[in-house]
A and B are shown apart, each in its own frame.
Chain A
Amino acid sequence: MASTADRLRAMVSNNLEVDGKPVNVGDDLNVGLTDLGVSSVDVVAFAKLANEEFDLSLTVEDCANIPTLQALVDRIDG
C-alpha cells in the first residue's frame, strides 16, 4: 500500500492547480498550502478531499493552519 506521503502527493497533484498546472510538490513536503499559492476555494476542496481520503474530520480552518504537508502526514500517521 502506498505511504501516506505518496497518497498525499497524489491527492495534491490530482486536485490542486497553480496557474493552470498541477501542483507537484516532489519529495519535499515541508511546504504549506499558503506557500504553494493555493487559493481559498482550493483549500476548501482540499479539506474535503483529505477527510475522504484519510478518514479525517479536518475543518477548512485546520487545513489552512497546517504549517506543512509533512505536518499533515505526521498528524495522519500519528
Chain B
Amino acid sequence: MIPVDERWWREYRSIDDVVVYEVDVSEDDRREALAAHILDEEEWERSQRFVFPGPRRRFALCRSALRSILCLRIGCSNDDLKLGATDQEKPYAIVRNEPIEFGFNVSHSGDYGLIAIGEAPALGVDVEFRRHHPNLDLLVSTVLSPDEKAQIASVNDLGEKNNLFFDFWTVKEAVLKAVGVGMSGPEPSEIEVPREMREGSRSCITQFRQISARNWRLVNLGTSKFAAALAYMVD
C-alpha cells in the first residue's frame, strides 16, 4: 500500500455518497515506478501498447490509483481485485469472483485525472483539459443540440467558445459513460445539457427520457484549467 504522503491522488469533492478523487498524472519517475508494481500483468501490457509516453503515464497512474482506492474501500488485497471493461467500455470490478455492486469511473486528460466512486452503479465522470480544439466548428455542429449551438454562436471570444464546448461535452460524456453504452448509445446531441447548468448552475437534477425515466444528478467539477462533469442516477 502506498503511504498517504506518497499518494498521487487525493479527495477532490464529495457529493451525496459519491467521492471524486483528483489524480496527479504529471511526469514523476518515482510515482510511475510505484504504479507499475500495482498494475496486474494485463494492465501492464495494456500500458505498454500506448505509443506515446503521456497516455501511457496517465493510464498507469490512474489505474494504479483506482486499484488502491478500491482496495481500501472494499478491504481486499490488490491481488484479489480484477478490473475490466465491457465491450461498451463500462468498467467493472470483481473481488474473489464476486462483482462489486457500487459504481466507479475514471477519466484523464492532459495533466488531470479524476476517479469517481459512489453507491449508484450508473455513474460517470469526464475531464478535458481546456484548450483550443482545431476542429471546434465541426464538433459543435456534430455533438451539440440546437440550443447548445445557439449559445456557443452567441459568444464572440474563441477561448470562451472552447470553454463552453468542453463544459457541454464533459456533461454529455459523463452521462454516456454512466449509462455504459459507449459510442453505441444515444447521440451526444440528444443528451442536452440542462438550461440551468448552461446558465451557470454547478449542479442540477434532471431526466434524459431517451435513456430512462430515472432522475440524474449532474455536477460541474470544472476549473479554469479543465472542464469536468460528474453524472449519476438518483432515486
A contact residues vs B (CB 8 Å cutoff):
15, 17-20, 23, 25, 31, 35-37, 39-41, 43-45, 48-49, 59-61, 64-65
Interchain residue pairs A-B with the least CB separation, the first 5 = A37-B55, A61-B183, A19-B54, A45-B135, A60-B183
Majority-rule SS of A interface residues: helix
- Complex interface: chain A residues within 8 A of B54 (CB): 18-19, 37
Indicate if the CB atoms of B134 and A17 lie closer than 8 Å: yes
- Complex interface: chain B residues within 8 A of A17 (CB): 134
With both chains docked as a complex, state the minimum distance between the C-beta of B45 and any C-beta of chain A, in angstroms: 12
- Complex interface: chain B residues within 8 A of A23 (CB): 52
With both chains docked as a complex, state the minimum distance between the C-beta of A25 and any C-beta of chain B, in angstroms: 8
Query: Among the listed stretches B13-21, B69-77, B138-146, B152-160, which one makes contact with chain A, having 4 or more residues with CB under 8 Å of it?
Result: B138-146
Q: Given A36-B52, A37-B55, A41-B133, A61–B184 Cβ distance below 8 Å? A: yes
Of all chain B residues, the one with the shortest Cβ separation from A63 is B183
- Complex interface: chain A residues within 8 A of B91 (CB): none
Indicate if the CB atoms of B183 and A59 lie closer than 8 Å: yes
Of all chain A residues, the one with the shortest Cβ separation from B131 is A20
Most buried by A among B50, B58, B135, B139: B135
